[in-house]
Structure 1
Amino acid sequence: MFAATTAIGQVVSQTVPQLEGPTPSMETGAAAILPKWVIDDQRRMRAYPDQPPIIPHSIEGYELSVNANRCLTCHKREFTQDSGAPMISVTHYMTRDGQMIADVSPRRYFCTACHVPQANTQPLVRNIFKDMSELGFKPAGSE
């Protein structure tokens, strides 16, 4: 029985591709330097329709839990006039069925599930996305 197990082990090790690179899986290296966040408070153009806007300011130390949401102290509809922050979308005040409600929907409460800070980093993969304006399409009424 031992000879058969050994023979199967040798066949498997020869036919199964190696799934790790040259660095042993338990070896650790130096951590990469954390990128600098873009915190210039400038609103950015969205890359595609319905893209959630990025967060253009620091959110370090913000509490975002079941008990508190620091984002809403500025971006909630009733606070935007005093804070000068853009109001969260009216879609955040809707149920799944499209029914308007008085407060932010529980499914839209955790902002960082969709909205993220932006960092000055190089892309991980080459981006070949082209905006419609680059493809020759003109906005309606521009002719």
Structure 2
Amino acid sequence: MNRSVAAMLLGLAATGLASAIAAEDVTSLRGRAVTDESDPAVNKPTVAVPGGFALGWEKQPPMIPHPIDKYSIDLRQNGCLKCHSPATFEIAKAPKVGDSHFFDRDGVKLDHLAPRRYFCTQCHAPQTGAIPLVENVFEGR
């Protein structure tokens, strides 16, 4: 038997041994056995917080203080801009999109939202009323 076949058989044996060890009753931080299937994600309702959330650190992207379930953000439209664009924020009484969102990656100021800042939920996230999985003692600024 040549060396490559022997190495392949040894690798398969090691994989089988690792699977057998992982099959033991090991619990995750959430209290489930590691071998259990995950529960499907449950759509929890988002929290509406008048005035928004306090920032935890300097230059933190603000969290979204209202539901966005019905918003559409795709290549053709951005539901956030209905209220947060420079043309509509005063009427909607909403914060304006930050000036930093109008600069491209080379630092050139654009007259429209920069493409890399178009998909708001890449940085800004709505909040739910979910119970924290672990205790959190973080204090913001």
Q: TM-score, structure 1 length as denominator?
A: 0.70
Residues 103 and 20 of structure 1: is their aligned pair in 2 closer, same or farther, counting only changes over 3 Å?
Answer: farther
Structure 2 counterpart of 1:45, which letter?
Answer: A
Distance of aligned partners of 1:128 and 1:21 in 2 relative to their CA distance in 1, 3 Å threshold: farther
Cα deviation for residue 125 of structure 1 reads: 4.0
- Give yes or no for the alignment of 1:114 onto 2:123: yes
Number of positions where the alignment pairs a residue of Structure 1 with one of Structure 2: 128
Q: Determine if the alignment matches structure 1 residue 97 to structure 2 residue 99.
A: no
Runs of 4 or more consecutive aligned structure 1 residues displaced over 6 Å after TM superposition:
none
Mark the CA change 1:13 to 1:117 in structure 2 (over 3 Å): closer, same or farther.
Answer: closer
Identity of aligned residues (%): 31
Q: How does 1:26-41 map to 2 (within 5 A)?
A: 28=37, 31=40, 33-41=42-50
Task: Note the residue ranges of structure 1 that are not aligned, 5 or more in a row.
Answer: 133-143
Q: Which runs of 5+ in 2 are unaligned?
A: 26-32
Local SS of the residue matching 1:112: helix
Give the AA of the match of 2:107.
Answer: G
**Matched residues in 2 for 1:14 and 1:75: separation?**
55
1:39-79 Cα shifts (integer Å, max 9, x gaps): 23331111111111111111112111000001011101111
Q: Is the 8 A contact 2:50 2:65 kept in 1?
A: yes
Residues 1:86 and 2:65 are matched in the alignment: no
Among 32, 54, 62, the alignment partner of 1:53 is: 62
SS at match of 1:77: coil
Change (3 A) 1:13 1:95: closer
- Taking structure 1 as reference, are residues 80 and 125 closer, same or farther at Cα in structure 2, changes over 3 Å only? same
Using a 3 Å threshold, how does the CA distance of structure 1 residues 97 and 39 change in structure 2: closer, same or farther?
Answer: same
Counterpart Cα distance in 2 of 1:67 and 1:32: 28
Mapped partners of 1:24, 1:15: distance in 2? 17
